[in-house]
Structure 1
Amino acid sequence: MHQYLGSIFAVLLFILSGCAAQKEPESLYYQAETTKPYEDVLAELELAITEQNFRITGHNKIGSVIRDRENISFPDYDTIQFCNLTLAREMLEISPESVIHMPCNVAVRSQNGKVIVTTHLLPTRSPNPRMNEFARKMNEKLKQIVDFAVED
């Protein structure tokens, strides 16, 4: 009987340790929503981006351009691109292939009476520990920008 219980315990321990060793998938996006007016969210985003010492490099007003061009009712969709050259240089010196993540980007959309703001996050599980640390710090800045824009 003791051997039987010991075997069951060993199997359970093996299964549990296997589950514990599995990593959760890394989130590549951060998203938040609000019921604030769309234009207010855009204004708050622009303010938050500049407050974090980034410069806006592009703003695509996709939804309004489709509405105007096709003269139809179409929801709001915008993307805002931004960059900080000092941080960009630091990131590229650490990991030149990280250029794929530039510039930073925030997408805004109107859906079901809410405004949803989403940003790309930098991967934090690369083989490069310096890049992972940089990415964690940058992701916090990106999350703060999104949170500020949706805050009531």
Structure 2
Amino acid sequence: MAYYIAKSVPGPFDRVLSNVIEQLKREGFGVLSDIDVQATLRSKIGAEMPRYRILGACNPTFAHDALQIEDKLGVLLPCNVIVREQSEGRIEVASIDPVVAMERTGNPALADTAAEVRRRLTSVIESIQ
């Protein structure tokens, strides 16, 4: 079972990144963090790599509901979504599969929330062109 949901689309990178953020908002997610992995690794260890961003996406209603059920769930939040350059002008967009992540808690009360978050993240990824 994959731990992520992914799709590869033609670039350019900035257009795809903007589209991902727009589609996340459409599905009720805000972007709490935006980590530029390429710039961070370059500045910290001198490593060169293709463009790679990690967006920490959160739907406040679902996060609140889940935290009421499982108070340590914050270790799995927010839902990470990546946008990364691949070869030949392709851009991969991927997110964590929240159903797989929530199964790790062993708490079946999270199943409905995780399924709805999965549905919304899948909708985001499928909408990216």
TM-score, normalised with respect to structure 1: 0.70
Deviation, structure 1 residue 79: 0.8
1:56-135 to 2 correspondences below 5 Å = 56-66=31-41, 74-113=49-88, 114-122=90-98, 123=100, 125=103, 127-135=106-114
Q: Residue 73 and residue 102 in structure 1: after superposition, are their counterparts in 2 closer, same or farther (change >3 A)?
A: closer
**Corresponding residue pairs, total:** 125
RMSD of Structure 2 on Structure 1 (CA): 2.4
Is it true that 1:146 corresponds to 2:98 in the alignment?
A: no
Asked which structure has the greater RCO (Cα within 8 Å, sep 6+), the reply is 2
Identity across aligned pairs (percent)? 21
Is it true that 1:48 corresponds to 2:23 in the alignment?
A: yes
Q: Which has the higher strand share?
A: 2
**Match for 1:104: what amino acid?**
C
Larger radius of gyration: 1
Of the structure 1 ranges 81-90 and 125-134, higher mean CA displacement relative to structure 2 is found in 125-134
1:59 counterpart SS class: strand
Gaps of 5+ in 2: none
1:122-151 deviation line (CA, Å, top 9, x unaligned): 2264643331121111111111112222x2
Q: Partners in 2 of 1:70 and 1:147 — Cα distance?
A: 35
Q: Partners in 2 of 1:72 and 1:100 — Cα distance?
A: 28
Decide whether the 8 Å contact of 2:38 with 2:48 is kept in 1.
Answer: no
Deviation, structure 1 residue 84: 2.2
Q: Partners in 2 of 1:67 and 1:131 — Cα distance?
A: 39
**Match for 1:131: what amino acid?**
L
Decide whether the 8 Å contact of 2:35 with 2:55 is kept in 1.
Answer: yes
1:68-127 deviation line (CA, Å, top 9, x unaligned): 788986411111112122211101112223222201111111111211111111226464
Q: Partners in 2 of 1:69 and 1:93 — Cα distance?
A: 38
Q: Which has the higher helix share?
A: 1
**Match for 2:60: what amino acid?**
L
**Match for 2:65: what amino acid?**
E
